[in-house]
Chains A and B, each alone.
Chain A
Amino acid sequence: MSTAFLTAAPAVAPVVRRSRTAGLLLALLGLVALAFVLDIALGPVRIPLPAVVRILLGQPTDTPAWVFIVQQIRLPKALTALAVGSGLAVSGLQMQTLFRNPLAGPSALGLTAGAALGVAAVMMAGGSVVGSYAIRTLGLGGSWGLVLAATTGAALVMGLVLVLSARVRDNVVLLIVGLMIASVTGAIVSLWQYFSAPEQIQEYLLWTFGSVGGVTGRQLAVLATVVAVGLGLAFASAKPLNALLLGENYARSMGLSVGRSRTLIIASTSLLAGAITAFCGPIGFVGLAVPHLVRALLRTADHRVLLPGSCLAGAALTLGCDCLAQLPGSQTALPLSVVTSLLGAPVVLWVVLRRSNIRSSFS
């Protein structure tokens, strides 16, 4: 190593790093656009890519049926996938930093289970034959109620896990706590199922497979609004999240109001995971795996970069999984959470195997 390199390095390196990061974020954005168009093109009726782009740009096309399919079914579905992917990835990123735990994520710590309990509670309170697919046909008030219930369920679990995490410093114990909470809420939901009619159970089971389809019109507007608010809160927490990288004590010593920041982060995470789970069912591994992929790709721990990166990568991954779920050429679609788990579990395994000291180091 020459001395010239040593003296030149400090001046050059940050610039190189910054342009590399910007390039990768742009590439991710391109990937999202590609997956978005592809997701609209694929399905039982295959629409050529140029036609999809023309329809999306509002230009006339000679097949009116395609316009209807795109506008009424595929575009809402792709927009939902966009919201689901970015929302879950960002909520996972926030949880991993807040808990300083590489295996934290909306599903691993029982957050989606809490949201599911909220959904089940709304159904039980409704008393009538209301499956979650039926809930999607509810009016605007109904969907807000569902979001509120799911978010409350998620926030309750998140708060409980957080209280316990203050007492229990061990990551593994915390994960066990999350699993137990998930299993208790799962048991309550099972109890509800036990006393329900078979068709209700079938609809609930379909909901647990996860799907970004069928969320249209006002429901999509509600989901998009809540996810936008959640993402806004998350982006406003970029600086506190960076301070929390060093742990709560350091964060406090650097002037962070830890309680306030924590509330903000919990609110954002619960809103995102709650609303998404309410409408699309539990979709696993996106929240857990995407932040790891983004950290490996962007090679940074700075949340001002990781947050937009997770947004884009989460959206691209979910859109991509939804494309795969269409099983191109076939008439049936696979459940989305099956595809995300099939892809996500190996990613998590890779993360675990790549670092032998996963318990102490994650970023």
Chain B
Amino acid sequence: MPEPMPLLTADDLTVGYFVNRKTPRPVAGPLHLTLRPGELVCLLGPNGAGKSTLLRTLAGLQPPLSGRLELGGVSLARMNPAERARQLSIVLTDRVDVGNLTVRELVSLGRHPHTGWLGTLSAHDDAQVQAALAATDTAGLAHRPVGELSDGERQKVLVARAVAQDTPVVLLDEPTAHLDLPNRVALMRLLHRLARQTGKAILLSTHELDLALQAADQVWLLPADGSLRTGTPEDLVLSGTFAAAFAREGLAFDPTSGTFALHAPTGPAMQVVGAGAAAFWTRRALEREGFVPTTECADWRVTVPDGPGLGHWTSQLMGDQPAGPHESIAALLQALRQLPHNHPAGAAASH
């Protein structure tokens, strides 16, 4: 299958802002970027790396410091605002305070670049608004005032507005911020589905690393030094690029679990015998307790139950009799804490 034509390309793009009229302050670059139809791309990076600046530049809301930027094969600099608005829509972090506007009216504003001087909606515009409401599961909210919506509903409605603008490219600046976990997951799922079903190229910046790794077709990794890495999320993880990008932030990325380690265990190694969810969560509990869980033979050993409700945890020191059975991880940890010697928490406390 031939590669689809890119919807957005950037060559040697440097983004940033002007401190004053003469002094540019580059934030990131030079960047080489491509957005293809039907792709969900997540832009990841620490605060201050220039994610918002990059998105605003791609959206034409601020000029690039240097480099070429093309939208649908046409230079962005040569487009007037109306032409650009038919190619690209954006969901910003700006507060939207329009209490009196109904959801349908807000979504209808997305038709702005397609309507006449008075903004009257044609039958086609109405159909597009309806389709956008349906695609984002917000049709049921259509007649609610925007001021009454929850954060999650409001964010979906803002996505609906961008969808109603009917552009091949949609950018979203931190759409998952301020949302609770179920809403974050729902929104990522929605965006992934939109990209697949409508063939739009969707680029969003986010701090939700694990969600991004699961949902994104491509990840754009923008570390604080402004050098961008792009690729399929799994490739970036396996090649260590992902871990390297965040190592500078003092974070240890665990490619096995796809998470960042909160704890840096320094205690004795603990062999975990068993598999499945019980083994995974036992390892997590042991790490929190200061042990270094391992699958290899170690002085300490914990055997986990085979399945949910199927048994008990047992623990033993090499050579000692097995202790237990322990009813739960809490009971296991309790028993480990009572062992007089070699306990990392105890060792730490005695210093």
Contacts and interface: CB of A to CB of B under 8 A. Distances in A.
B82 A242 contact: no
Contacts of B88: 253
A126 to B, nearest CB: 41
B117 interface: yes
A254 B119 contact: no
B101 A239 contact: no
A254 B109 contact: yes
Interface stretch (B9-17, B18-26, B91-99, B214-222): B91-99
B94 A249 contact: yes
B100 A253 contact: no
A74 B95 CA distance: 48
B106 to A, nearest CB: 8
Interface string A239-257: 1001101110110111111
A361 B97 contact: yes
Interface centre among A6, A236, A246, A363 (most CB of B within 10 A): A246
Contacts, number: 98
Interface in B72-108: 80-86, 88-90, 92, 94-101, 104-106
Contacts of A362: 97, 99
Interface in B309-328: none
B97 A100 contact: yes
Contact of A250 (B60, B94, B119): B94
Contact of A9 (B80, B118, B143): B143
Interface size class of A (residues with CB under 8 A): 20 to 34
Given A249-B94, A254-B165, A300 B100 contact: yes
A360 interface: yes
B109 A363 contact: no
A363 B98 contact: yes
A197 interface: no
B161 to A, nearest CB: 8
Contact of A255 (B85, B92, B95): B85
Contact of B100 (A238, A247, A254, A295): A295
B109 A243 contact: yes
Interface string B97-136: 1111100111001101101011100000000000000000
A299 B145 CA distance: 9
Interface in A291-307: 295, 299-302, 304
Interface size class of B (residues with CB under 8 A): 35 or more
Given A255-B86, A302-B105, A249 B92 contact: yes
Interface in B167-213: none
Contacts of A198: none
A353 interface: no
B292 to A, nearest CB: 49
A253 B97 contact: no
B142 interface: yes
Contacts of B112: 239, 242-243, 254-256
Given A253-B61, A253-B85, A253-B89, 16 more contacts: A6-B140, A9-B143, A10-B143, A14-B104, A242-B109, A242-B112, A245-B98, A245-B101, A253-B60, A254-B89, A255-B82, A255-B85, A257-B80, A301-B105, A361-B97, A363-B98
Please list the 4 inter-chain residue pairs (A to B) with the smallest Cβ-Cβ separation, ordered nearest first: A255-B85, A255-B113, A255-B82, A239-B119
